[in-house]
């Protein structure tokens, strides 16, 4: 019987990054994955395929929507959806193979099949052929991720009514698409199909988009999406759906009460959040009890059962790949007797639309609620020379700093490439940096990163270029 220091159940960003770190630290490690490929939701049906389609559809729109013509490039693009999907699948395949290579490189055993905890220190893996393998281990790490939250009354068939996985592989570019949920998935995948020709209507329960995001940024972003042609039905609830071979009829009512209406579309995407996935995991055999949503609580990645740890979407915190990755790494460091740690105050969030949205740290609403005195520095992309020259002037950067100490407490932006640039603020915050530190750091010109510098200057009132 195989004996391990660590058996990780789930091969997503939490599991596979943890496995790499465990291998580096000399722990005898196995990773168990049931879907037949490593990489989890992120590589197979999440981050990576969605970014592949966001990139391709952005190119298509630039070519067909007037942006190329404005630059003096005249083309008549034709959508080849089969090729667009094929290049997505090729990239995903290469990435999952890359993770498999990294397992070998770090001497991690990749065990294919669905894992089940079978009492302390035992994991039973059921392979595709039904055969069971027993693994004995000092530590079990649960990294089983999450799945889409179902919407009562609306059955996802992944034909006409799809979840994010279905929306990544539609067989045609719809003429009309209704997205239920104005969250990250709805706005990213809504953008993909909008750029490829769909009329997109977003139905959201709350009276705003992107709950939890800095309100000023979310409102500005909604206006920009509105200009792009997105329609929003806020404060509205979906009460039922009927799908036919041709499309979907959706019953929608105002949350505050009032007459119901029927919306019709070729396809409906349900994206109202994700919930932890723990099905068939045998948690009862070690006495771990998940909460009502299926979430397994942790204390420094430890569950209530000795030797059983948990990381990623299946535990508390934002459901993001980089958060899962950091937890996987820190968890293995703790198992190896080192000082693993995740700073939950500095986990950035990015929405990869055009323009992008990027946030880190506290929002203005958080600071007001906590009674913290803060200063704000803001800078519009309209005044950033590189953005201007590239005709990408929508959006702004906002830096929030402590009114007394000037320590950066958060940064929120909507604009071109802000998803890459927010990392600068994350580093500054990790070092306990002040707005002045960013403001006095020489930034390359002409780059969009100067907008972050100018916003930081604004905290002390000396923004120069606006
Ligand atoms: P997962 O990636 O869900 O991996 C868990 C794995 O465990 C799965 O492969 C599953 O098959 C396996 N598993 C479950 N139970 C068992 C079992 N019993 N035995 C064996 N294997 C099992 N996040 C970002 O940060 N950036 C993005 O751009 C982004 N885009 C996204 C786009 C979409 C459409 C979606 C749906 C999600 C996106 N996310 C993004 C979220 C991101 O995918 C998740 O936060 C991340 O994958 C969580 O990693 P994880 O390792 O916790 O779980
Ligand atoms: P989400 O939590 O981002 O948004 C769900 C939205 O649906 C919210 O606005 C919510 O108010 C709304 N909603 C909830 N119930 C509703 C109902 N009954 N009717 C109408 N609206 C309703 O969830 P989403 O978009 O499904 O994404 C799931 C997770 O995946 C997120 O936690 C996100 O972190 C992750 N993800 C991250 C990405 C990124 O980092 N770029 C991209 C895609 C997903």
Give the start-to-end residue ranges of the domains of the chain.
2-147+275-342, 161-272, 346-459
Closest ligand 1 atom, residue 13 Cα: 51
Condensed to tens digits (0 to 9), the pLDDT of residues 61-70 reads 999 988 999 9
Condensed to tens digits (0 to 9), the pLDDT of residues 403-449 reads 999 999 999 999 999 999 999 999 999 999 999 999 999 999 999 99
Closest ligand 2 atom, residue 352 Cα: 41
Q: Check pLDDT > 80 for residue 197.
A: yes
Say how far apart CA 152 and CA 235 lie, in whole Å.
17
Averaged confidence pLDDT in the chain:
97
Q: Check pLDDT > 90 for residue 258.
A: yes
Instruction: Tell me which residues have their CB closer than 6 angstroms to ligand 2.
Output: 151, 180-186, 188, 203-206, 211, 237-238, 271-274, 318-320, 350-352
Taking CA atoms only, the protein residue closest to ligand 2 atom 28 is 273
Q: Where does the pLDDT of residue 260 fall: very low under 50, low under 70, confident under 90, or very high at 90 and above? A: very high
Predicted pLDDT of residue 2: 81
Query: How confident is the model over 18-35, as a mean pLDDT?
Result: 98
Q: Which residues are marked as active site? A: 445
Q: Check pLDDT > 80 for residue 354.
A: yes
Structural element, H or E, at residue 400: strand 396-402
Distance (angstroms) between ligand 2 centre and the Cα of 182 equals 7
Distance (angstroms) between ligand 1 centre and the Cα of 372 equals 35
Say how far apart CA 217 and CA 208 lie, in whole Å.
11
Report pTM: 0.98
Q: Where does the pLDDT of residue 296 fall: very low under 50, low under 70, confident under 90, or very high at 90 and above? A: very high
User: Is the C-alpha dihedral spanning 406, 407, 411, 417 positive or negative?
Assistant: positive
Taking CA atoms only, the protein residue closest to ligand 2 atom 44 is 185
Distance (angstroms) between ligand 1 centre and the Cα of 242 equals 29
Which CATH number, 3.30.70.260, 3.40.190.10, 3.30.390.30, 3.40.630.10, labels domain 346-459?
3.30.390.30
Say how far apart CA 333 and CA 327 lie, in whole Å.
10
Instruction: Look at domain 2-147+275-342 and name its CATH class.
Output: alpha beta
Choose one of 182, 272, 323 to mutate for the ligand 2 pocket test, by most ligand atoms within 8 angstroms of C-beta: 272
Residue 13 near residue 46 (C-beta atoms within 8 A): no
Q: Check pLDDT > 90 for residue 188.
A: yes
Q: Check pLDDT > 80 for residue 1.
A: no
Fold matches, 2-147+275-342 and 161-272: yes
Q: Could you please report the per-residue DSSP string of 345-383?
A: GG--EEE-SSSEEEEEE--HHHHHHHT--EEEEEEEGGG
Taking CA atoms only, the protein residue closest to ligand 2 atom 41 is 351
What are the residue ranges of helices labelled H in 110-255? Answer: 164-167, 184-195, 215-228
Which CATH number, 3.50.50.60, 2.60.40.60, 3.40.50.2300, 3.30.930.10, labels domain 161-272?
3.50.50.60
Predicted pLDDT of residue 440: 98
Q: Check pLDDT > 80 for residue 48.
A: yes
Distance (angstroms) between ligand 2 centre and the Cα of 393 equals 27
Say how far apart CA 365 and CA 251 lie, in whole Å.
33
Q: Which bound ligand lies closest to the C-alpha atom of 352? A: 2
Q: Check pLDDT > 80 for residue 280.
A: yes
Closest ligand 2 atom, residue 351 Cα: 41
Predicted pLDDT of residue 292: 93
């Amino acid at each position: 019987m195989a004996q391990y220091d660590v058996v990780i159940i789930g091969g997503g960003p939490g599991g596979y990054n943890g496995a790499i770190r465990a291998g580096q630290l000399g722990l005898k490690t196995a990773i168990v994955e049931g879907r037949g490929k490593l990489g989890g939701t992120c590589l197979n049906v999440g981050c990576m395929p969605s970014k592949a389609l966001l990139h391709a559809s952005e190119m298509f729109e630039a070519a067909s929507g007037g942006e190329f013509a404005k630059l003096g490039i005249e083309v008549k693009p034709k959508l080849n959806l089969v090729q667009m999907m094929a290049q997505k699948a090729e990239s995903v395949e290469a990435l999952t193979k890359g993770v498999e290579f990294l397992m070998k490189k770090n001497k991690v055993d990749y065990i294919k099949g669905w894992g089940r905890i079978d009492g302390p220190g035992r994991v039973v893996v059921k392979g595709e052929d039904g055969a069971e393998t027993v693994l004995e281990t000092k530590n079990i790490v649960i990294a089983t991720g999450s799945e889409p939250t179902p919407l009562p009354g609306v059955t996802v068939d992944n034909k006409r009514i799809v979840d994010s996985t279905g929306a990544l592989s539609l067989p045609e570019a719809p003429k009309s698409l209704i997205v239920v949920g104005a969250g990250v998935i709805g706005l990213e995948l809504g953008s993909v199909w909008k750029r490829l020709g769909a009329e997109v209507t977003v139905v959201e329960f709350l009276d705003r988009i992107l709950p939890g995001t800095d309100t000023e940024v979310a409102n500005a972003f909604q206006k920009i999406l509105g200009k792009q042609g997105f329609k929003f039905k806020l404060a509205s609830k979906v009460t039922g759906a009927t799908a036919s071979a041709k499309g979907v009829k959706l019953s929608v009512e105002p949350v505050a009460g009032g007459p119901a209406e029927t919306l019709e579309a070729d396809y409906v995407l349900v994206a109202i959040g994700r919930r932890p996935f723990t099905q068939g995991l045998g948690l009862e055999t070690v006495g771990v009890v998940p909460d009502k949503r299926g979430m397994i609580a942790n204390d420094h990645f430890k569950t209530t059962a000795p030797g059983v740890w948990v990381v990623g979407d299946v535990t508390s915190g934002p459901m993001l790949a980089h958060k899962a990755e950091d937890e996987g790494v820190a968890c293995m460091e703790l198992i190896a007797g080192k000082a693993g740690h995740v700073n939950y105050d500095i986990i950035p969030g990015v929405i990869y639309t055009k323009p992008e949205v990027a946030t880190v740290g506290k929002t203005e609403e958080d600071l007001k609620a906590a009674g913290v005195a803060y200063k704000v520095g803001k800078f519009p992309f309209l005044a950033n020379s590189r953005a201007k020259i590239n005709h990408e002037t929508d959006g702004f950067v906002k830096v929030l700093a402590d009114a007394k100490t000037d320590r950066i407490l958060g940064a929120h932006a909507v604009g071109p490439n802000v998803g890459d640039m927010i990392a600068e603020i994350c580093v500054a915050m990790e070092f306990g940096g002040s707005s002045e530190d960013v403001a006095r750091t020489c930034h390359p010109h002409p780059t969009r990163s100067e907008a972050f510098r100018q916003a930081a200057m604004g905290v002390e009132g000396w923004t120069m270029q606006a």
